[in-house]
């Protein structure tokens, strides 16, 4: 077997759907930013703070290489990720929600690993079932087991994950209501810019707005309220219409094809880089606003 997730595996099937591959990471950013320790640890140790879209694109490509690539391709991606994670260790320099100043973080802290993994798992399930098809119990469990295996490849101990998908859903509902969810101003600015205001050629802005509508419509209500997003019956109607159009192929039929999203990720990263080189930063003043490593 030349792949960690060969043909027939649920994770390969789900993540090869471009409707999932192009959306789940953005939602992961929005939800993931509500854990202030995880966000701070990631932010302080990125070398691409001035190009956040490029960083997200690189991450999306690495994840695709593990899920959809050959074993040798996946192993290279895992080595790159491990080298980056080795540097992610420190403490937060200011209190954030329930977390006091000097709270430690590490890329290999079990709580933070579980959270980072879980936001992707939830988003993968949400967008596949919303935009592709409903999953039966057996397929849900198979997909969940594959996601646990994926986490193991990134050095997450399997035993820290809830044992079944049903257990995961119960745990996740509790996390969405937890007082530990907290959105710092920097996390809010960063996540909103990445997901709703990222640099986009004019002719592709409608597509960005469509994805933004899907993101807001799929956020758990407590998270939506944290961001201050207004969600009216008109928004819900527009959301449901967009979902129907995508599921039936009336909206962006090319987007619904199966395959890797890496070409799209690279296009987004290159467009952002060109703008930054011309003195047009993705988030004005973002680097200056960031706290220094603790």
Q: What is the pLDDT along the chain (294 residues), one digit of tens a residue?
A: 699 999 999 999 999 999 999 999 999 999 999 999 999 888 877 766 689 999 999 999 999 999 999 999 999 999 999 999 998 999 998 999 999 999 999 999 999 999 999 999 999 999 999 999 999 999 999 999 999 999 999 999 999 999 999 999 999 999 999 999 999 999 999 999 999 999 999 999 999 999 999 999 999 999 999 999 999 999 999 999 999 999 888 776 665 688 999 999 999 999 999 999 999 988 865 544 444 333
CA-nearest of 28, 18, 4 to 118 is: 28
What pLDDT is attached to residue 287?
Answer: 47
What pLDDT is attached to residue 293?
Answer: 35
CA–CA distance from 117 to each of 96, 122, 153, 154 (Å)? 21, 9, 11, 9
- For 279, list phi and psi in degrees, rounded to 5: 85, 25
What pLDDT is attached to residue 289?
Answer: 41
What pLDDT is attached to residue 294?
Answer: 32
What pLDDT is attached to residue 47?
Answer: 62
For the question of whether the overall pTM of this predicted structure is more than 0.75, the answer is: yes
What pLDDT is attached to residue 159?
Answer: 97
């Amino acid at each position: 077997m030349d792949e960690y997730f060969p043909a027939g595996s649920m994770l390969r099937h789900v993540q090869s759907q471009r409707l999932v591959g192009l959306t789940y990471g953005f939602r992961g950013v929005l939800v993931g930013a509500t854990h202030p320790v995880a966000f701070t640890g990631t932010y302080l140790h990125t070398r691409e703070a001035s190009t956040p879209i490029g960083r997200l694109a690189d991450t999306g490509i690495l994840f695709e290489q593990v899920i959809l690539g050959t074993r040798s391709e996946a192993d290279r991606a895992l080595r790159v990720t491990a080298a980056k994670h080795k540097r992610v260790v420190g403490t937060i320099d200011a209190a954030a929600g329930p977390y006091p100043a000097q709270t430690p973080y590490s890329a290999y802290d079990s709580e933070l690993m579980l959270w980072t993994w879980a936001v992707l798992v939830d988003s993968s399930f949400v967008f596949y079932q919303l935009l592709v098809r409903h999953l039966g119990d057996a397929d849900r469990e198979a997909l969940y087991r594959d996601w646990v295996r994926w986490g193991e490849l990134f050095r997450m101990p399997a035993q820290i994950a809830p044992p079944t998908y049903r257990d995961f859903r119960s745990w996740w509902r509790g996390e969405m209501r937890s007082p530990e969810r907290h959105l710092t101003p920097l996390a809010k600015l960063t996540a909103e810019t990445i997901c709703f205001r990222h640099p986009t050629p004019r002719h592709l802005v409608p597509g960005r707005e469509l994805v933004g509508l899907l993101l807001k419509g799929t956020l758990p209500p407590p998270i939506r309220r944290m961001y201050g997003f207004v969600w009216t019956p008109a928004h819900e109607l527009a959301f449901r219409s967009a979902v129907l159009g995508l599921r039936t192929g009336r909206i962006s039929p090319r987007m619904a094809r199966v395959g890797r999203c890496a070409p799209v990720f690279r296009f987004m990263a290159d467009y952002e880089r060109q703008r930054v080189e011309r003195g047009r930063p993705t988030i004005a003043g973002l680097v200056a606003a960031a706290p220094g490593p603790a």
